[in-house]
Structure 1
Amino acid sequence: MDYRKLAESLDLPAKVRLLTGASVFTLAPEPAVGLGEVRMSDGPTGVRGLTFAGGPVVALLPNATLLASAWSADTAYEVGRLLAEEAMAQGIHVVLGPTINLHRSPLGGRLFEAYSEDPLLTGKLAAAYVRGMQDSGVGACLKHLIANESETDRTTVDSVVDEATLRELYLLPFEIAVAEADAWSVMAAYNDVNGVPATEQDHVVNGILKGEWAYPGLVVSDWFATKSAAPAANGGLDLVMPGPDGPWGDALVAAVEAGEVTSSVVDDHVARLLRLADRVGALGSLRTRPAALPAPDSPARREQLTRLAAAGMTVLTNRDEVLPLAGDARVALIGRHAVETICMGGGSAQVNPPYQVSVADALTGATVTDGVEVRSRPVPARAGFLPDLRFTIRGADGAVLDERVASGSSIVAGFDDGLAGQIATISVQARFAVGGEIEVGAIGAGSWRLRVGALDVAYDLVVPPGGFGVEVLAPPVATSRVPVVAGDLLEGVVTLDPSGPMGSVGRFGIVARPAPRDPDEVIADAVAAAAAADVAVVVVGLTEEQETEAVDKHTLRLPGRQDDLVFAVAGAAARTVVVVNAATPVLMPWREQVDAILWAGLPGQEGGHAVAAALTGAIEPAGRLVTTFPAADGASPAWSVTPVDGKLPYTEGTFIGYRGHHAGRAPAPAFWFGHGLGYATWSYSDARWSHPSVSVTVTNTGTRPSREVVQVYFAPSEPDQPVRLVGWAAAEAAPGESVPVTVDCDTRLWRRWDGAGWATLTGGTLLVARGLGDIRATLPLTP
């Protein structure tokens, strides 16, 4: 099909109309060229649909770092197919993912959506994911181009990155996914890069992506990221999202008529959009979708999501083989994350799953004890606490604009919900399902008046600082402690302030939960439970306060008094296992005092079942770390994510993560990238190099069948070049079995950018390893 000819057949206003979304997540149809509506959805951990909040019930997948920890292209391909099926069930054409920014600093709040700190691992997994999705006719979208590794001041920060670092490190995952999977779209980021907005990056988009790589696909802006008309259009951006309003429209028409943008530039943008529409079945004869697809809560999905989550979990320590747990062991299960397991991160990654299984739900037979508080901010009431909580949205004249029943006890209002007028008030009403001393309160900017039983409370909540979107992503909250009897009525109203940064838009909800207890009492209960058991399993971790869009962390310490809890339990228990329910590195000051540590990530809707399967050995947690875990705050090669005078210099260059630790630019880490023990031990022999492959024999010296991941790193002889992963391969073996493994090394990792082009690195050493903390063979290379 001649997409350029189709584009040229339209008049200028019609062309430009296609280049801004028709709504928040849809693109406009154009019958004159046979173009139907194109529908997009966020999708890092599930296909949310056409709304930012609420929406249909969909499958909640494990987060990206947990899936990546399998170090398996087959896993990534399966995830792509799964998401494509979820998309087809809703008539979605493009899923916005994968996120292939790198884990530059462990403080990055959105790292849980991205695969790893390594460009090769990230690129290869992304390519497999894209193939899985696009083989089913659903488009993928690589994001976020480029140098978008942190969230602080994300819409204004200027990432200052030298050309060699940009090409050798941050562009490489995009290069691999474009070359090996032909991803159908790419998303331009919020930030500036070297003083130029990512949506106006002529050098990166036109020069490298569309020029050097000959990329034929579409470049779309991140939502609300586009800052200009002519500079963005000339800089290679093809599509502005969301719509129908935006910086293009009449302004872009005027720019063409004034000669600031040529008609051929506009035609190219439209042609690329039409190519995408054709690929996803929205151009010409519209593609029909399969009628029978697995439901989010079907047996097929339950098995799939449990297996994917458990297989990526990583055994960090395992003294005296305390894991897997013995079948007859008396287990004390302890911690807030055990009873309220965090299954997904915050922000645009959130979806509406059919259920979320906690570890306490799944580890049957264990004695369960709650843990210390893990949040500084109250959250909406959990399902069942306020059943049938009803929100009534009214305009200034008192007319009802909408009514919603929210199972999650909060709603997003005023954004992409098609209301007939501006919101003035939102009323809430529900009855408590439980009684006792309750912490109750309100979430969302406005003037609140609540009645809880016979008690009246009032809050005036204002939007906190934090930049664009904070009204939705981190709204203000206030609470009170009140006595409640089951069946008591909660009712109230919030009056909105339309003069706020986003007008009458925000997240609104009700807090309701048992009032927090004294932490010393909680720890004492945990100690008593641990002392009475054969093994204590303590589940600790982070929450959506730390792992979320728009906010970075300031420390890697566990929130609250979770470290105190672990120390106390370890001092009382015969054996102690710690499960870390977090997607990114945390500090573990107690790691030498406990017997085993299992890193569990954010495991999705089957999270509790997956953790139980990993702990009991029903599924081997054979994951390998995708991020280096530093031993202390500040002890990583790149740390600060806070701009100074608007700029965030990437002064560490290509020495991020394990690369910088290996070069001595940061202290030795607590756990190296690539580390993971599984449930067996391994020996390596006969390692050999025959360009471009390494061969080695691995032998399972343990007592259980297991999966091994053989990793090969290249350490160049040039001192200004860091060590880098060049390939990996997995093998499975029974106890005592030897298996030959061949690792095909990627020659793109033998390049360096010398300012004018690519030069080849020659001398150095190959390291055959189970992570850089466990090198099994060294193979010298000669120039």
Structure 2
Amino acid sequence: MTATADQLIDQLTLEEQVSLLSGEDFWSLPAVPRLGIGKLRVTDGPNGARGSGSLIGGVTAAAFPVGIAIGATWDPALAREIGSAIAEEVRSKGAHVSLAPTVNIHRSVTNGRNFECYSEDPALASALAVGYIRGLQSQGVAATIKHFAGNESEIERTTIDSVIPERALREIYLRPFEAAVKEAGTWAVMSSYNKLNGTYAAENRWLLTTVLRGDWGFDGVVMSDWFGSRTTAPTVNAGLDLEMPGPTRDRGAKLLAAVETGEVARATVRQRALNVLRLMERTGALEDRGSFEERAEDRPAHRALIRRAGAAGCVLLKNEGLLPLPAEPGRLAVIGPNARTARIMGGGSAQLNPHYSVSPWEGLAARLGEARLDYAPGCDNHRWEPLLRTALTAEYFDNTELSGAPVHEEELDEAQAFWVPPIAGGKVTPGAFSARLTGTFTAESSGLHRFGLHSAGYSRLYADGALVVDAWSNWQKGRTFFEEGCDEVTGDLELERGQTVEITIEFAARPGDNLHLSAFRAGIGRPLGDAEISAAAEAARAADTALVFVGRSGEWDTEGSDLEDIALPGRQDELVAAVARANPRTVVVLQTGGPVEMPWAGDVAAILQAWYPGQEAGSAIADVLFGDAEPGGRLPQSFPVRWSDNPTASDDPEVYPGKDGQVRYAEGLFIGYRHYEAKGIAPLYPFGHGLSYSTFALSGLTAETATGGAMARITVENTGPRHGTTVVQLYVAPPEMAERPLKTLEAFAKLDLAPGERREIHLTLPPRAFARFDGDAQGWIIDPGRYRLMAGLSATDIHETMEIEMQAATLPL
């Protein structure tokens, strides 16, 4: 019989207890063979399970919809299904813990990681997080909810101090974490890189012990983000159980010394180790004696779920009767930079090597055949030049001068690498090696070719021996590779069609400033211009319907780099305008990780926001365009008309993007729809908005107080001619008083109804739905008075209202 965590803890020596408090390598904890304790292994999430490979390549895995696409489903039950399926993916990668979900709030519209998070609203984010965690942990795989807390931007994210009033923390930014602990019982929490009100999250005792363990009763593991802990005694004493990744930097011998000098109590080390053992017990790692194996399991059930979930998150923003397309649509012009490229996920630690990916072109062709489709790219939307995909021989040197004989040689199939230890089979020193990569490139057409290169480390690119790109001589840190890399450096070269040039890329590592990694990426592209936009307009003019696929990609929506604005990159706005002038039957399909400005919105017949819906992207989009599936999504984030309307637009850079190492959440509670309503700013598309292929009516809103809160009832009817999906949203407006939002989302329900079907639904409003956090009292207060309940189909589309009287009350933390 396997010993329990409580039985094992006191059998461990102090040294063995300390060994469990830091990683052995990038993805695992050390075993304790003496007691039969195996390795605990973790893997990145949240839209799949990458396994132990780097961010590039590795064993293939299923790519599920990203966080904001799950947020757009407004469907906690579906989130639970996804979590359960991803648990199977985690097991296929030999891991016990998923580093997911990501639940930071959409504070700004330009956060590079918005795609990975659910919503601007804490109630919606909380419900989805609870569903996802319950799904994961029902299969014995631990969730690691992240990033705790105040990581709402990617600018200087490893060092920035997020200054957030406690009331805003409690009511907004901590709320999904609290729900994860109290409702879902999450087994792990990841601390964020940033400081919170002056103290790094990984050593913030108020956050990790007072709130997390004291107020909420958390009994799991708190682990650092990768390289996100910086000290020994302060992190251990604050409540950080696990330093990741390994090998240790601040635990091990340093922690043993801290115990010896009395900086850390033996009882504290014991409790930290017990928390780790408990996590191992919960996930089966204590008794996992099997050999480590990673498998690529392309499951039909996962394919079907990803396709269904992708459609469920698609938001129909506008439709002037053009959608759904008929079964026989005539000729379709398929236009845009995202038409033949599958945009399935964002960038950073969430990315993985998918089993496959379906582009919109492939999804449409599978339904109609290519003979009915005409293609025109129109323009490009890349942030970096298209990746050079060619065979490269990489020679590694255990020095930074490319000198002497190479110590290791390997083959790459593309011009990018993300190196984490062990590098080159462990034959080079991380942070102090160099590499030379050689291959060839053959031009497919004549004209100007643009070569691009960026790197975490120094790099340069030669073509036939001539230096074309120099990212070495004047290297400066920029916004790539988690803020450890330079911005892309480019160089131009005229080439003839069929001309082959020899490519040589030289790289030398440099010590990381905050994260310890080495990486490079090289690409070659052909700039597009006026001729391509004109050709796209002509294709649209000749077609019955024009489908324009525009947006961004994981190059833009990525961890480690905020967006500079929310305009569509490149000349995409010009492209959409030109196509709309040529054909009024134009449908725009957007793929982005958040809002974009749409100066052409009034000129097109339909707009569909498809996000990054996973490996079945093109299939899910085609299902929605032709009405095989409902556009089931509703906006989880408000879309402003322009960037300057958003809650973090300010004349004070300290509010956003930050100044002198500090970002101040001066807007307090007024983010998202709360901001637009308080300021009287009309959004382009409001929070909760989304059209169905049917119509719905709400009636008969009633409510009565119950168990300190209230129970509301409302009738929903499908008044349209076909089966449809809608989301009933219930907002609560407080009695008039200062510093409270005019209304907040407190309950919702997603329904599928047949034509003419009526259904009464019940929506529970717990006491906290009426409460505010009082910092002086250090508790939740319900102010007495009449609260207004508002039921509708978006934050601005309210159908039914009523008032309910609430008595004064003080609620427990």
1:770 Cα shift? 0.2
1-structure distance, mates of 2:293, 2:253: 41
Which residue of structure 1 aligns with residue 340 of structure 2? Answer: 339
1-structure distance, mates of 2:15, 2:295: 40
Query: Residues 560-575 of structure 1: matches in 2 within 5 Å?
Result: 560-575=570-585
2-structure distance, mates of 1:779, 1:268: 51
Secondary structure in 1 matching 2:546: strand
For 1:375, the aligned partner's letter is H
RMSD (Å), alpha carbons: 2.5
Which residue of structure 2 aligns with residue 174 of structure 1? Answer: 177
Query: Residues 306-705 of structure 1: matches in 2 within 5 Å?
Result: 306-325=307-326, 327-364=328-365, 365-381=372-388, 386-396=389-399, 397-406=404-413, 408-417=414-423, 418-422=425-429, 423-430=433-440, 432=442, 434=444, 436-437=446-447, 438-444=449-455, 445-451=457-463, 457=468, 459-461=470-472, 463-466=475-478, 469-470=481-482, 476-483=488-495, 485-486=497-498, 488=500, 490-498=502-510, 501=513, 505-513=517-525, 515-518=526-529, 520-639=530-649, 640-662=655-677, 664-665=678-679, 667-691=681-705, 692-705=710-723
Q: Deviations over 1:722-766 (max 9, x none)?
A: 211111112211222222222223432222111221112442201
Query: Residues 139-154 of structure 1: matches in 2 within 5 Å?
Result: 139-154=142-157
Which residue of structure 1 aligns with residue 810 of structure 2? Answer: none
Secondary structure in 2 matching 1:643: coil
2-structure distance, mates of 1:486, 1:209: 62
For 1:12, the aligned partner's letter is L
Instruction: Flag the 1:456–1:636 CA change in 2: closer, same or farther, 3 A.
Output: closer
1:516 Cα shift? 1.4
For 2:599, the aligned partner's letter is P
2-structure distance, mates of 1:631, 1:320: 23
Which residue of structure 1 aligns with residue 368 of structure 2? Answer: none
Q: Deviations over 1:79-131 (max 9, x none)?
A: 11111111111111111000011111111111111110111111111111111
Secondary structure in 2 matching 1:333: strand
1-structure distance, mates of 2:546, 2:156: 42
Which residue of structure 2 aligns with residue 8 of structure 1? Answer: 10
For 1:48, the aligned partner's letter is R
1-structure distance, mates of 2:517, 2:294: 37
Instruction: Flag the 1:642–1:416 CA change in 2: closer, same or farther, 3 A.
Output: farther
Select between 748-757 and 410-419 the one with higher mean Cα deviation. Answer: 410-419
1-structure distance, mates of 2:47, 2:163: 30
1:272 Cα shift? 0.1
For 2:427, the aligned partner's letter is A
Which residue of structure 2 aligns with residue 18 of structure 1? Answer: 20
For 1:689, the aligned partner's letter is A
Note if contact 1:425-1:494 (Cα within 8 Å) is conserved in structure 2: yes
Select between 559-568 and 429-438 the one with higher mean Cα deviation. Answer: 429-438
Asked if 1:751 is matched to 2:771, the reply is yes
Asked if 1:721 is matched to 2:763, the reply is no
Note if contact 2:203-2:239 (Cα within 8 Å) is conserved in structure 1: yes
1:228 Cα shift? 1.2
For 2:796, the aligned partner's letter is G
Note if contact 2:66-2:612 (Cα within 8 Å) is conserved in structure 1: yes
Instruction: Flag the 1:601–1:634 CA change in 2: closer, same or farther, 3 A.
Output: same
For 2:718, the aligned partner's letter is N
Indicate the percent of aligned positions where both proteins have the same amino acid. Answer: 37
Asked if 1:707 is matched to 2:725, the reply is yes
1:502 Cα shift? 8.3
2-structure distance, mates of 1:500, 1:548: 19
Asked if 1:50 is matched to 2:68, the reply is no
Which residue of structure 2 aligns with residue 101 of structure 1? Answer: 104
Query: Residues 2-151 of structure 1: matches in 2 within 5 Å?
Result: 3-4=5-6, 6-53=8-55, 54-151=57-154
1:291 Cα shift? 11
Which residue of structure 1 aligns with residue 230 of structure 2? Answer: 227
Secondary structure in 2 matching 1:744: strand
Select between 624-633 and 639-648 the one with higher mean Cα deviation. Answer: 639-648
Note if contact 2:5-2:281 (Cα within 8 Å) is conserved in structure 1: no
Query: Residues 196-275 of structure 1: matches in 2 within 5 Å?
Result: 196-275=199-278
Q: Deviations over 1:503-524 (max 9, x none)?
A: 99522343134x1122x21211
1-structure distance, mates of 2:232, 2:696: 58
Q: Deviations over 1:653-684 (max 9, x none)?
A: 1111012222x235121111111112111111
1:359 Cα shift? 1.1
Q: Deviations over 1:8-65 (max 9, x none)?
A: 3323222222111000111111123332111111112221111332221111111111
Select between 579-588 and 713-722 the one with higher mean Cα deviation. Answer: 713-722
Q: Deviations over 1:629-664 (max 9, x none)?
A: 1111121223453112222111111111012222x2
For 1:667, the aligned partner's letter is I
Structure 1: gaps spanning 5 or more residues: none
2-structure distance, mates of 1:502, 1:467: 14
1:155 Cα shift? 1.2
Instruction: Flag the 1:267–1:351 CA change in 2: closer, same or farther, 3 A.
Output: same
Secondary structure in 1 matching 2:745: strand
1:266 Cα shift? 0.8
Select between 547-556 and 315-324 the one with higher mean Cα deviation. Answer: 315-324
Tell me the TM-score normalised to structure 2 length: 0.90
Secondary structure in 2 matching 1:127: helix
1:3 Cα shift? 3.1
Instruction: Flag the 1:613–1:629 CA change in 2: closer, same or farther, 3 A.
Output: same
Secondary structure in 2 matching 1:151: coil
2-structure distance, mates of 1:174, 1:565: 42
2-structure distance, mates of 1:377, 1:21: 34
Q: Deviations over 1:676-698 (max 9, x none)?
A: 11211111122211343222221
Note if contact 1:412-1:472 (Cα within 8 Å) is conserved in structure 2: no
Secondary structure in 1 matching 2:168: helix
1:468 Cα shift? 9.5
Which residue of structure 1 aligns with residue 796 of structure 2? Answer: 773
Q: Which of 288, 297, 318 is 1:295 aligned to?
A: 297
Q: Deviations over 1:214-251 (max 9, x none)?
A: 11100000111112111111111100011113122222
For 1:373, the aligned partner's letter is D
Note if contact 2:537-2:582 (Cα within 8 Å) is conserved in structure 1: yes
Instruction: Flag the 1:325–1:114 CA change in 2: closer, same or farther, 3 A.
Output: farther
Tell me the TM-score normalised to structure 1 length: 0.93
1:489 Cα shift? 5.5
Note if contact 1:375-1:543 (Cα within 8 Å) is conserved in structure 2: yes
Select between 369-378 and 139-148 the one with higher mean Cα deviation. Answer: 369-378
Secondary structure in 1 matching 2:470: strand
2-structure distance, mates of 1:318, 1:458: 46
Select between 754-763 and 670-679 the one with higher mean Cα deviation. Answer: 754-763
Note if contact 2:442-2:499 (Cα within 8 Å) is conserved in structure 1: yes
1:345 Cα shift? 0.9
1-structure distance, mates of 2:481, 2:102: 20
Secondary structure in 1 matching 2:110: coil
Note if contact 1:638-1:657 (Cα within 8 Å) is conserved in structure 2: no
For 2:661, the aligned partner's letter is G
1:254 Cα shift? 1.6
Instruction: Flag the 1:314–1:400 CA change in 2: closer, same or farther, 3 A.
Output: same
